[in-house]
């Protein structure tokens, strides 16, 4: 990994009365006998900005690739268990206090999913906290793949699952070296992508809430009593080239101030072309239950494509969701924006 660079913006603006030549010109323009007033230099102190680490996109990319290398992370599989162990170990290596919720969740079709929510707490002694989250499982079926032969094959899940986790692992690495003023909790939800298969729509027409099973459970049973962070930020599908993140509808309904704050930080960080200042559609995702059930204002940073037939990209829920759809520049835009947000907390 590259050495970390830091941005330390501490400026003192000294206002002087100018150079001697400019003073001479001003004096010459005055009527004879009129003296030039003395202007003293008065220093103005600009409040220093927080130390914001530089997000390492190479590191985040490698974290995504590491997850994909395990294979599909479908709950109950060996590859899922091994990847979960890796995520727990990696977060602990960065000094986090890690707890897990090992749970059996029942899918819409009756499948019993051996699932694990992973919660990493940085500076757990701090009362004021911010929550960052993503889902780490992958969809068991590539049911949107153009090739119908793939409709019951598990997909690689590089962007849908891997990208959000990769960004959060890189943020965790930064938190280990540069503590924030507030405590930060990174929560990796499981069983988000086990929702209704496209071929089962008619068979299970009455099924609701088949998605985001891990966050549904966590929202009813948080990892600590009366857990109440200031806000939460969910990252999902945040790695594709040319991504544009619009202000998702559920986020705007429950936490409009958080949305505006995050988009302002994105603009300040120079990523306005990624974070588009316009409202997007409503998306059922983990943040819905964090808002509705847990009562925590939580927004979703997710790449939606209004021009796409499925609302996302051509890789979505297909076998194409591999490392070819992970772009370092997009990871950087999202990761650096989130770093600006959490390191600006006082």
Tens digits of residue pLDDT in 11-61: 333 333 333 333 333 333 333 343 444 344 444 444 445 689 999 999 999
**CA–CA gap between residue 346 and residue 338 (Å, rounded):** 15
Nearest one of 72, 17, 59, 316 to 172, comparing CA atoms: 59
306 and 281 Cβ atoms separated by less than 8 Å: yes
pLDDT over 80 (residue 313):
yes
- pLDDT 10s digits, 222-251: 999 999 999 999 999 999 999 999 999 999
Average pLDDT over residues 257-263: 98
Q: Exposed (0-12), middle (13-18) or buried (19+): which is 95, by Cβ within 10 Å?
A: middle
Taking every pair of C-alpha atoms in the chain, what is the biggest distance, in angstroms? 98
Residues of each domain in the chain carrying CATH 3.40.630.10 = 54-343
CATH of 54-343, picked from 3.40.630.10, 3.40.190.10, 3.40.50.2300, 3.40.47.10, is 3.40.630.10
301 and 238 Cβ atoms separated by less than 8 Å: yes
123 and 223 Cβ atoms separated by less than 8 Å: no
DSSP 8-state secondary structure symbol assigned to residue 159: I
- pLDDT 10s digits, 82-112: 999 999 999 999 999 999 999 999 999 999 9
The pair of three-digit structure tokens given for residue 74, joined into one six-digit string = 């479908």
Distances (CA, A) of 227 to 66, 224, 338: 31, 6, 21
Radius of gyration of the chain measured on its C-alpha atoms: 24
**What integer pLDDT is reported at residue 50 of this predicted model?**
67
Please name every residue paired with 43 in a beta bridge, in sequence order, or none if there are none. 14
């Amino acid at each position: 990994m590259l050495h970390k660079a830091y941005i330390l913006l501490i400026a003192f603006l000294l206002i002087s009365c100018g150079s001697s030549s400019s003073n001479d010109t001003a004096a010459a323009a005055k009527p004879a006998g009129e003296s030039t007033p003395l202007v003293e230099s008065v220093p103005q102190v600009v409040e220093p900005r927080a130390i914001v680490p530089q997000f390492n996109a190479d590191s985040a990319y490698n974290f995504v690739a590491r997850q994909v290398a395990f294979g599909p992370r479908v709950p109950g599989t060996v590859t899922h268990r091994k990847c979960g162990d890796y995520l727990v170990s990696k977060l602990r290596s960065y000094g986090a206090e890690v707890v897990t919720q090992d749970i059996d969740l029942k899918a819409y079709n009756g499948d019993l999913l051996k699932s694990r929510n992973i919660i990493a707490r940085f500076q757990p002694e701090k009362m004021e906290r911010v929550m960052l989250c993503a889902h780490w499982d992958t969809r068991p079926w590539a049911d949107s793949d153009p090739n119908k032969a793939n409709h019951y094959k598990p997909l690689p899940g590089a962007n849908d699952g891997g990208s959000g986790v990769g960004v959060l692992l890189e943020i965790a690495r930064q938190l280990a070296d540069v503590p924030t003023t507030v405590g930060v909790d990174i929560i990796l939800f499981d069983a988000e992508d086990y929702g209704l298969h496209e071929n089962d729509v008619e068979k299970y027409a009455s099924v609701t809430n088949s998605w985001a099973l891990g966050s549904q459970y966590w929202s009813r049973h948080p990892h600590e009593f009366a857990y109440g962070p200031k806000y939460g930020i969910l990252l999902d599908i945040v790695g594709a080239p040319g991504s544009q993140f619009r202000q998702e509808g559920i986020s705007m309904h429950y936490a409009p101030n958080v949305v505006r704050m995050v988009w302002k930080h994105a603009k300040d960080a120079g990523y306005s072309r990624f974070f588009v200042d316009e409202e997007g559609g409503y998306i059922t995702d983990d943040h819905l239950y964090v808002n509705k059930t847990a009562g925590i204002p939580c927004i979703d940073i997710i790449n939606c494509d209004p021009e796409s037939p499925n609302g996302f990209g051509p890789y979505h829920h297909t076998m194409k969701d591999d490392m070819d759809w992970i772009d370092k520049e997009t990871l950087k835009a999202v990761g650096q924006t989130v770093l600006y947000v959490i390191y600006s907390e006082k």
